[in-house]
């Protein structure tokens, strides 16, 4: 089995946080936490595996 990358672990953690916080936001939803989580997830998806953003998000969301 291939070793999971830090980016994959951060993505998994963000998705779990979004699910625990009530799922994806709707047009009527202005929950700042969900907005931040979804923004970070979108930025992560755009980042390369060795991008500094991956390390920053890992630290922010306590991903080992």
Q: What long-range pairs does 11-17 form, CB within 8 A, spacing at least 24?
A: 11/41, 11/44, 11/45, 13/61, 13/62, 13/63, 14/40, 14/41, 14/44, 14/57, 14/61, 15/41, 17/61
Query: What's the average model confidence in pLDDT over 19-45?
Result: 84
Residue 22 has pLDDT above 90, yes or no: no
- Encode pLDDT of 33-60 as tens digits: 899 999 999 999 999 999 999 999 999 9
pLDDT classification of 13: cutoffs 50, 70, 90: very high
Question: pTM, whole model, 2 decimals?
Answer: 0.82
pLDDT value for 1: 46
């Amino acid at each position: 089995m291939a070793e999971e990358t830090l980016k994959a672990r951060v993505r998994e953690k963000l998705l779990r946080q979004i699910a625990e916080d009530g799922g994806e936001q709707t047009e009527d939803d202005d929950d700042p936490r969900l907005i931040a989580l979804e923004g970070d997830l979108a930025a992560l998806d755009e980042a390369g595996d060795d991008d500094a953003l991956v390390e920053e998000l890992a630290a922010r969301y306590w991903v080992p």
